[in-house]
Amino acid sequence: MSKTISKNKGVIYFVEEKDLLGYSTPNYVKIGLVKDNQIGRSAEDRKDEHQTGNPRPLFIAHSMETKASVSKLEALIHQNLAIHRHRGEWFVKPNGELKPFIEKSNFINHQLEDQIASQKLIDALNLNISAEELANEDEESKEIHYELNRVINLIKKIEYKKGNSAQNVRHIDQSKDFFLNLRNSMALYSV
C-alpha cells in the first residue's frame, strides 16, 4: 500500500468562542483534529478539553471528515492560513468570517482525497503487470532498451566533455590574463 493512502483518517474541527450573549465572537477560531484511531474521542470531547483554559464558552462551528491523513490535512490547513495565525492552532477570522477558512480547508481536503484516488489507480495498474510479463520481454523491447541506454551514456559523455572543455577554456583565459599582467608588469620595470 502506498504512503499516500491514509491509515490516519479523522475529523478536522473548527471551534469558536461565544460572547456573553451567546453569539459567535468575530475574532478567533481554533482548527484542530481528532484521529479515527482515538477510540471514543470526538470533536466535542476536544472542545470540552479546550474549554478548561478559555473563559468564554466554546462551540463547534464546523467539522469535516476526511479519508486522507487528518494530520497532513491539519498541517496543510495551518500552513495555508498561517498569515491569520494568532497563536498555536488559534486563527483570526478575516472580517469575522469563518467561511473562507472552511472553503480553503475543503479545497485542500479534496486535493488530498484526489491523491488517494490517483494512487489507488496507480497501484491497481501496477498489479496488472505481472512479474512473468516483465521477465518475458521480446527482442524488440530489449533492443530499444539497449539503444536507450547507449544514447543516455553518449549524452553523459558529451556533457562530461562539454564540462571539461568549458573548464579548459577558463584555464586558458586565466593563463592568458596572467601572462598579459606579467608582460605589463615587466614593461613597467624595464622603463
pLDDT value at position 101?
Answer: 96
| Nearest-5° Cα angle at 117, 112 to 123 | 120
Contact 24, 135 (CB under 8 A): no
* Euclidean distance between CA atoms 72 and 70, whole angstroms: 5
The Cα-based distances of 191 to 56, 185, 188 in angstroms read: 92, 10, 6
* pLDDT tens per residue, range 13-49: 999 988 888 787 778 999 999 887 655 667 777 777 7
Chain-wide mean pLDDT for the chain?
78
Contact between 57 and 51 under an 8 Å Cβ cutoff? The reply is: yes
Confidence category of residue 3, pLDDT binned at 50, 70, 90? very low
- Is 177's pLDDT higher than 60? yes
Q: What is the pLDDT of residues 81-91, one digit of tens each?
A: 999 999 999 99
Q: Kindly indicate the confidence band of residue 172, based on its pLDDT and cuts at 50, 70 and 90.
A: low
